[in-house]
């Protein structure tokens, strides 16, 4: 569900639209109408219509079969199951999210906890996000913990500018909520602020930051690794435990970056690990061999949970990103 049309008298439609903009996931587009005639002339259909009771009657008088669309009525009087002008708007947000859950698998709660997959490549000339694209399925999430953020977005998604997210290291350095910026683009650096606070509504805040490409969801790496310096192991464990239990995702990929992992104990957080090797480079290949052996011997991950693949074919070039992928070989 991506588009909602709101139809009602001018002032109420304006106030409701402003509220929903701040409380619904950012990928939902809202458009308000104060004239039934203009609404029915709109060529593109919405996924959901929020219509005032009087507004709806005028629309039905013009287009009798309009009732076949998905419509939430904004009633003049309170009802037990519906939504009225006297109800708090958060009730409507909850109803919209329930409706979206029934239509979009991404927002549907799964019967069990999600599967956490770590992705790690100990060499710098590779885009983890670009590499994992082929591995991901619709409804999967990729979180970029890459220590040095990528210079470009390899997908066609337009980065959303938002004013309500903390930006970079200022979020961890400031005692108060950091200054807003029109140029702010939400990324994992923005989310670090809330992870550090163990924010109760961390999942709602994270989902508002995500961008979607062909049904796959992404939160990009920050441009500098400093954003991660304020987080301790217990912060990461709390965050990933929350994701595992309550995120609603079936699978989450976490890009761990290209430099040395601070501690192999972090690996015990994940259910599976994909290690990208570069067999044609002896030092990197030897490092990967020792990495796997140590992780297994120390008991951080069982041998069956570590998969080694050839990542050497996906490199940054002077002219952009190579499009080749290679499934690699089991270690």
For residue 165, pLDDT over 70 is answered with no
**What is the percent of the chain with per-residue pLDDT over 90, rounded to a whole number?**
24
What integer best gives the mean pLDDT of the chain?
Answer: 77
Q: Please report the pLDDT score of residue 59 as a whole number.
A: 94
216 three-class SS: strand
pLDDT tens-place string over residues 272-281? 899 999 988 9
Beta strands in 8-100 (DSSP E): 29-33, 48-52, 71-75, 83-84
pLDDT tens-place string over residues 126-137? 888 888 888 888
Phi, psi of 67 (to 5 degrees): -65, -15
Q: Please report the pLDDT score of residue 261 as a whole number.
A: 79
pLDDT-based confidence at residue 224 (cuts at 50, 70, 90):
low
pLDDT-based confidence at residue 171 (cuts at 50, 70, 90):
very low
pLDDT tens-place string over residues 225-256? 666 777 888 888 899 988 887 887 878 999 98
Q: What is the pTM of this model?
A: 0.56
Q: Please report the pLDDT score of residue 305 as a whole number.
A: 86
What lies within 8 Å, CB to CB, of 170 at 6+ separation is 178, 179
Q: Please report the pLDDT score of residue 236 as a whole number.
A: 87
For residue 179, pLDDT over 50 is answered with no
Q: Please report the pLDDT score of residue 313 as a whole number.
A: 60
Q: Please report the pLDDT score of residue 38 as a whole number.
A: 93
Q: Please report the pLDDT score of residue 66 as a whole number.
A: 92
Phi, psi of 92 (to 5 degrees): -65, -40
Question: Which is more confidently placed, 78 or 276?
Answer: 276
* Closest C-alpha among 98, 101, 68, 60 to residue 81: 98
Query: Mean per-residue pLDDT for 301-320?
Result: 67
Q: Sketch out the chain's domains with CATH numbers.
A: 3-103 (3.40.50.2300), 115-321 (3.40.50.300)
Please spell the DSSP secondary structure of 256-302, one letter per residue: --SS--S-GGGGGG-SEEEEEE-TTSHHHHHHHHHHHHHHHHTTSS-
With vertex at residue 100, the alpha carbon angle to CA 97 and CA 103, rounded to the nearest 5 degrees, is: 160
Listed range (17-21, 143-147, 252-256) with the worst mean pLDDT: 143-147
How many Å apart are CA 118 and CA 228, to the nearest integer?
A: 16
* Pairing, β 29-33 against β 3-7: parallel
Listed range (19-33, 234-248, 282-296) with the worst mean pLDDT: 19-33
pLDDT-based confidence at residue 141 (cuts at 50, 70, 90):
very high
């Amino acid at each position: 569900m991506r588009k909602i049309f709101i139809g009602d008298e001018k002032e109420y439609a304006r106030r409701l639209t402003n509220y929903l903009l701040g409380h619904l996931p950012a990928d939902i587009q809202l458009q308000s109408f104060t004239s039934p005639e203009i609404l029915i002339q709109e060529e593109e259909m919405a996924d959901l219509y929020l219509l005032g009771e009087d507004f709806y009657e005028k629309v039905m008088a013009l287009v009798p079969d309009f009732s076949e669309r998905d419509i939430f009525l904004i009633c003049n009087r309170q009802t037990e199951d519906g939504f009225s002008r006297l109800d708090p708007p958060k009730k409507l947000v909850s109803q919209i999210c329930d409706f979206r859950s029934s239509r979009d698998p991404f927002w549907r709660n799964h019967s069990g906890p999600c599967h956490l997959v770590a992705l790690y490549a100990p060499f710098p000339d590779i885009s983890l996000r670009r590499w994992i694209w082929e591995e991901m399925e619709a409804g999967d999430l990729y979180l970029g913990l890459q220590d040095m953020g990528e210079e470009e977005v390899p997908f066609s998604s337009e980065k959303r500018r938002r004013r309500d997210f903390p930006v970079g290291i200022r979020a961890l350095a400031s005692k108060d909520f950091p200054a807003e910026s029109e140029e702010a683009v939400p990324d994992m650096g923005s989310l670090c602020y809330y992870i550090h606070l163990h924010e109760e509504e961390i999942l709602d805040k994270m989902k508002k930051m995500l961008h979607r490409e062909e049904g796959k969801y992404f939160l990009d790496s920050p441009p500098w690794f400093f954003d991660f310096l304020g987080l301790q192991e217990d912060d990461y464990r709390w965050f990933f435990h929350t994701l595992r239990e309550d995120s609603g995702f079936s699978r989450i990929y976490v890009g761990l970056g290209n430099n040395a992992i601070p501690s192999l104990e972090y690996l015990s957080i994940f259910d599976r690990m994909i290690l990208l090797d570069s067999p044609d480079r002896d030092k990197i290949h030897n490092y990967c061999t020792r990495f796997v052996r140590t992780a297994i011997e120390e008991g951080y991950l069982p041998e069956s949970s570590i998969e080694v693949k050839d990542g050497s074919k996906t490199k940054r070039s002077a002219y952009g990103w190579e499009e080749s992928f290679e499934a690699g070989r089991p270690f």
